[in-house]
Structure 1
Amino acid sequence: MALSDRPAERHRQVAGLFTDRVRGTRRWDAPAPVAGWTARDVVRHLTEWLPGFLASGAGVELPVPIRSRAPSADEDPVAAWQVHCDGVQAVLDDPETAHRELADPHVGRLPLETAIDRFYTADVFMHTWDLARATGQDDRLDEGFCARLLAEMEPMERVIRSSGQFGARVEVPGGADAQTRLLGFIGRDPFWPGR
């Protein structure tokens, strides 16, 4: 199934696949393809960086269930992810989001839903592979979205590498599919031995 071009729906689809991998994880201390990370660290990363980005750039706080607080990935990675994921989806589904902007010194001014889609949903998409590979689950990603992300990122390779957010490019065989090429581009070994 192709991913939607609408940010709220695309997040629902991408986060849904990641949620399936979270629920399928049996060993949270399993090594992940990101050096020094475990499966738990993948969830920790995704649940920790976005709130600050939204608060500082758009004055948006992710909603948390009434009489509750978001658990940490250390306490309960499944619940931490679910509360976080539901909060992001609520922001994207909120009709007011269409009228909001995010301002950041590194990315400029963007519609809020575009910023979430471009930086966060894409991050969840790529880290789905990390969690799946770490935990021995199905690690196939949407081929069309892999190709799209790669096409958008390759022209900015110098900036991307200098950000420190991605490792050195890993060379992949000629004629490799879009997923393999994307993984190599972001510094993952597509043949990392989790498979």
Structure 2
Amino acid sequence: MSEIAARYRSRAEIFAAKVAAVRPEQWSNPSPCEEWTAREVVGHIVDMHGVMLRPLGRSLTPAPTVEEDPLTAFVCARADVEALLSDPVTAAREVDTPTGRLSVEQHIDQVVSADMVLHGWDLARAAGQDDTIDPVEVKAMWPKAQQIPEEMRTPGAFGPGIVVFGPEVKVPDDAPLQDRFLGLLGRDPHWSA
């Protein structure tokens, strides 16, 4: 298993555990993502799994919808992406992405795999779960977070209705690294419903 596939698997396990821990009455809770409920956070992650398949002319395998069964919808989408990562030829294939040509596995690593870390925090906040992000993840992702180009904060830069990152939320320089990381990604680390 490649390092990227192992990282994806670890992040997916953590995200799946958060989805599984959401109680039925919490699915309509607001999340730190403006205009998204807890269910819609999971829907976004499932949709982004489908986006990873599109450059290969594929789509998600038919499965229950996020409205019907959020956990099963995620597990099925995850299986589709893990199938790409487990095939060395497919994983290495170069595809066109909004940020240029990348291998399939690089695209997955930079988009949906990383998304699960941030949106795992969103889901945890929405459902009142432990929202601690693995400090190793935060430390590893911190350098790139400090270099987010302005176009990534511009609504619609990658298509109608697409917002990649919101405006930076100012956080004190002496705040914990997770808080500073979240602020750079457009999250208020003290957000509550």
TM-score (normalised: structure 1): 0.86
Q: Equivalents in 1 of 2:176, 2:94: separation in Å?
A: 35
Q: CA deviation at 1:154?
A: 2.1
Q: Equivalents in 2 of 1:156, 1:78: separation in Å?
A: 31
**Are 2:2 and 1:9 equivalent residues in the alignment?**
no
Q: Equivalents in 2 of 1:44, 1:98: separation in Å?
A: 24
Q: Deviations over 1:69-118 (max 9, x none)?
A: 211111111111111112212221123223311212x3111111011001
Structure 2 matches for 1:114-125, cutoff 5 A?
A: 114-125=106-117
Bigger mean CA offset, 17-26 vs 94-103: 94-103
Structure 2 matches for 1:1-195, cutoff 5 A?
A: 6-26=3-23, 27-55=26-54, 57-62=55-60, 64=61, 69-104=62-97, 106-162=98-154, 163=157, 164-193=163-192
- Quick one: which amino acid aligns to residue 165 of structure 1? V
- Quick one: which amino acid aligns to residue 100 of structure 1? R
Q: CA deviation at 1:153?
A: 3.0
Q: CA deviation at 1:51?
A: 1.4
Runs of 4+ in 1 over 3 A off after TM superposition: none
Q: Which runs of 5+ in 2 are unaligned?
A: 158-162
- Quick one: which amino acid aligns to residue 68 of structure 2? E
* Residues 50 and 77 in structure 2, CA contact (< 8 A), matched pair in contact too: no
**Cα distance change on mapping 1:35 and 1:99 into 2, 3 Å:** closer
* Residues 50 and 120 in structure 1, CA contact (< 8 A), matched pair in contact too: yes
Q: Equivalents in 2 of 1:151, 1:71: separation in Å?
A: 37
Q: Equivalents in 1 of 2:74, 2:148: separation in Å?
A: 30
Q: Deviations over 1:161-195 (max 9, x none)?
A: 1243111111112212221111111111101125x
**Cα distance change on mapping 1:165 and 1:99 into 2, 3 Å:** closer
- Quick one: which amino acid aligns to residue 57 of structure 2? G
**Cα distance change on mapping 1:157 and 1:121 into 2, 3 Å:** same
- Quick one: which amino acid aligns to residue 20 of structure 1? A
Aligned length: 184
Q: Which runs of 5+ in 1 are unaligned?
A: none
Partner SS, residue 146 of structure 2: helix
Q: CA deviation at 1:148?
A: 2.6
Q: Deviations over 1:2-53 (max 9, x none)?
A: xx98110001100100000000000211111111111100010011133134
TM-score (normalised: structure 2): 0.87
Q: Equivalents in 2 of 1:137, 1:41: separation in Å?
A: 17
Q: Equivalents in 2 of 1:5, 1:146: separation in Å?
A: 21
Q: Equivalents in 2 of 1:34, 1:23: separation in Å?
A: 20
Identity of aligned pairs, percent?
Answer: 39
